[in-house]
Amino acid sequence: MNRSLPKIGIRPIIDGRRGGIRESLEDVTMAMAHRTAAFLTSELRHAGGEAVECVIADTCIAGYAEAAACEEKFASAHVGLSISVTPCWCYGAETIDMVPERQKAIWGFNGTERPGAVYLAAALAAHNQKGLPAFSIYGRDVQDSGDEAIPPDVREKLLRFARAGLAVATMRGRTYLSIGGVSMGIAGSIVDHAFFRSWLDMRVQAVDMTELRRRLDRKIYDTAELETAQAWADARFRFGIERNARPRDAAGKREILSESLAMTLCIRDMMHGNARLAAMGWAEEALGYDAIAAGFQGQRHWTDQYPNADVAEALLNSSFDWSGARAPSILATENDCLNGATMLFGLLMSGKAQIFADVRTFWSPEAVQRVTGHRLEGKSAGGILHLINSGAAALDGSCAVRDAQGAPTIKPHWQVDEDDISALLAATDWCPGLEEYFRGGGFSSHFVTRGGVAFTMVRLNLVAGIGPVLQIAEGWSVDLPPAVHAALEARTDPSWPTTWFVPRLTGHGAFRDVYSVMASWGANHAVLAHGHVGADFVALAAMLRIPVCMHNLDEAAIDRPSLWGAFGSDKEGQDYRACAALGPLYGRRG
């Protein structure tokens, strides 16, 4: 299904007094709007790789009439967020964006001749009085009136607002596809339809796993594409250790791999649709469910007799498959929809694959030394977290790809090339699933994340009496000596993907030490997003009215609407009180 992607609306705001003032500012103000649009379109892409478009008001806005004309243009152009820009004083309440559910920011030029900062303060006061939160963008240093540069701090704020605002707008009206129900009593698998509707404006489509079985049994997929996928896997997959006491023979393993690849096709088609199915006589199935994210229950009602979904989860969440590089499709292990939503947030703001993981174990320095004889050093000296999913994670998580400086990284999918794909496949081996866990068999994607990569560990939780809350822990992957890694990995499962992670510590609260981070984490799962991107998640959470209950960010990096400042002087308390007072972005919906 072809969808209109949200656009960024740029609103040039001007002092409307004629007879010299407005006339002197027309070109300057409109030029500021065009510079802002040019900057954003040069720096941003949608998660699917498409170019981001900006829509600029036809005229500068000095009052209600021009604001209304701008809104008419925005409404017809699918504008999902707006940035008002001005180099001067203007009439505050008469010129602001009044659409309640649209994310809003104001950039007031920091100059003293005709100070946009004065308008910024007046307009924010109007926003706050009307209960319409807006982000404040104001450069630290005074600029000369003719300076056309966008200062670095303003650039950062513009991009952070735009990334988060586009994510909010992109989710609206889309679907979370729940394939199956609750996996092994995991709370994140209890799909709360009201959460998706009230906070994200998304629908939930619940489909029994028998629908997947029906598609597999009746071959409701492109059989030619399955042959292509099978040939690709035969040529490019490396197979790893066998841990089963009674291994399947080669024919049995190939049958399982073939069904695993067919599952990948079917789940993708269920999410996004596939026009080729209509030509095969499956017109209804060809439509899909318009899902922007999905989850698969798997354990145990499926996996006790059928191959697990590890291949499907690993490949769909990756930035490539047999067709080459393409956008990841979020598929949450064990139908943990809250981790799935967190992965979706990260993908929409970056275009990068997100890593699904169990927050499995805290290894203290003493425990590591007792088990291996090795003393942890450097970033690992205070202990490490073992992040490991039960067989599936995006293959990008190995960080076998290198950036321009030669450091391990995760790239946005539109930068992934064939060399990157080869490196990621070479870093992964596919191990037969341990049939004590997965009686129907399967293949686990096993890799070890390269050390020294900046990551942000993130998790969305639902809490009775509060609603959703977000946890954020910035840190790094670390390398262990091979023998130490092997000894520790073997105590869990050496056929599953592993990341050794160390959070950045602050010395207090949940970040007093690494143990405290593990002890404070609110669920058994987490997402690893590449880079230190906690500030982006904070901005997104504020837009959705989701308080952040745990983070290790510097206070200067936190960017929320100015309205939050009216709820007290403590940043965390502000966040909770503002989110409670405003309520979910889309109101309380069932």
417-439 average pLDDT score: 94
Residue 115: which pLDDT band, with cuts at 50, 70 and 90?
confident
588 within a domain of the structure (yes/no): no
Structure tokens, 532: 């230190």
Output the known binding site for Mn(2+). 334, 358, 525
Contact 84, 104 (CB under 8 A): yes
pLDDT digit string, tens, across residues 336-348 = 999 999 999 999 9
Question: CA-based Rg of the chain, rounded to a whole angstrom?
Answer: 25
Contact 128, 563 (CB under 8 A): yes
589 within a domain of the structure (yes/no): no
Contacts of 529 (CB under 8 A, 6+ apart): 346, 350, 352, 354, 355, 455, 456, 457, 458, 537
585 within a domain of the structure (yes/no): no
pLDDT for residue 568: 94
Domain co-membership, 482 together with 349: yes
Which structural domain range is residue 145 located in?
5-169
> What does the alpha-carbon distance between residue 495 and residue 588 come to, in Å, rounded to a whole number?
44
Domain co-membership, 274 together with 314: yes
Domain boundary residue, one of 169, 204, 222? 169
Domain co-membership, 379 together with 302: yes
Residue 573: which pLDDT band, with cuts at 50, 70 and 90?
very high
> What does the alpha-carbon distance between residue 481 and residue 484 come to, in Å, rounded to a whole number?
5
Q: How many angstroms separate the first and last alpha carbons of the chain?
A: 26
DSSP E strand stretches across 309-448 = 320-321, 324-325, 330-333, 355-363, 384-388, 401-402, 408-409, 429-432, 443-446
Contact 152, 63 (CB under 8 A): no
Give 210-236 as a DSSP string. HHHHHHHHTT-S-HHHHHHHHHHHHHH
Domain co-membership, 442 together with 569: yes
Domain boundary residue, one of 169, 198, 218? 169
Domain co-membership, 217 together with 152: no
Strand, coil or helix: what is 120?
A: helix
Contacts of 572 (CB under 8 A, 6+ apart): 547, 548, 549
Task: Identify the residue with better confidence: 268 or 245.
Answer: 268
CA distances from 364 to 386, 407, 476, 517 (A): 11, 27, 17, 12
CA distances from 216 to 210, 251, 259, 293, 567 (A): 10, 19, 8, 21, 54
Q: Residue 402 carries which side chain, given as an amino acid letter?
A: R
Residue 391: which pLDDT band, with cuts at 50, 70 and 90?
confident
What's the CATH code of the domain at 142?
3.40.50.1070
Instruction: Decide if pLDDT at 114 tops 80.
Output: no
274-283 average pLDDT score: 97
Domain co-membership, 462 together with 541: yes
Domain boundary residue, one of 151, 169, 187? 169
Q: Specify burial of residue 277 (Cβ count, 10 A radius: 0-12, 13-18, 19+).
A: buried
Q: Of 358, 420, 489, 575, which residue is the catalytic one? A: 358
Domain co-membership, 133 together with 162: yes
Domain co-membership, 47 together with 180: no
pLDDT digit string, tens, across residues 479-523 = 999 999 999 999 989 999 999 999 999 999 999 999 999 999 999
pLDDT for residue 1: 54
Return mean pLDDT, the chain: 96
| Alpha helix segments (H runs only) across 130-249 | 152-171, 193-195, 210-217, 223-236
CA distances from 128 to 7, 14, 85, 164, 365 (A): 24, 21, 18, 20, 49
Strand, coil or helix: what is 301?
A: coil
49 within a domain of the structure (yes/no): yes
310 within a domain of the structure (yes/no): yes
Q: Specify burial of residue 482 (Cβ count, 10 A radius: 0-12, 13-18, 19+).
A: exposed
Domain co-membership, 257 together with 159: no
CA distances from 558 to 15, 105, 161, 492, 536 (A): 31, 15, 12, 37, 9
268 within a domain of the structure (yes/no): yes
586 within a domain of the structure (yes/no): no
Domain co-membership, 510 together with 400: yes
Residue 178: which pLDDT band, with cuts at 50, 70 and 90?
very high
pLDDT for residue 2: 65
Domain co-membership, 151 together with 188: no
Strand, coil or helix: what is 103?
A: strand
Domain co-membership, 125 together with 222: no
> What does the alpha-carbon distance between residue 116 and residue 89 come to, in Å, rounded to a whole number?
5
> What does the alpha-carbon distance between residue 34 and residue 28 come to, in Å, rounded to a whole number?
10
Domain count, the chain: 2
Nearest to 59 by CA among 79, 37, 30: 30
528-546 average pLDDT score: 98
CA distances from 461 to 53, 190, 458, 472, 531 (A): 33, 11, 10, 11, 22
What's the CATH code of the domain at 408?
3.20.14.10
> What does the alpha-carbon distance between residue 512 and residue 502 come to, in Å, rounded to a whole number?
13
Would you put residue 227 in left (φ > 0), alpha (ψ -120 to 50) or beta? Answer: alpha
**H/E segment holding residue 423:** helix 418-426
92 within a domain of the structure (yes/no): yes
pLDDT digit string, tens, across residues 199-209 = 999 999 999 99
pLDDT for residue 110: 87
For a pLDDT cut of 90, what percent of the chain falls above it?
Answer: 92
How are beta strands 79-86 and 175-179 bridged, if at all?
A: unpaired
pLDDT digit string, tens, across residues 40-78 = 999 999 999 999 999 999 999 999 999 999 999 999 999
Residue 227 falls in the annotated catalytic set: no
pLDDT for residue 117: 86
Task: Identify the residue with better confidence: 536 or 436.
Answer: 536
Residue 570 falls in the annotated catalytic set: no
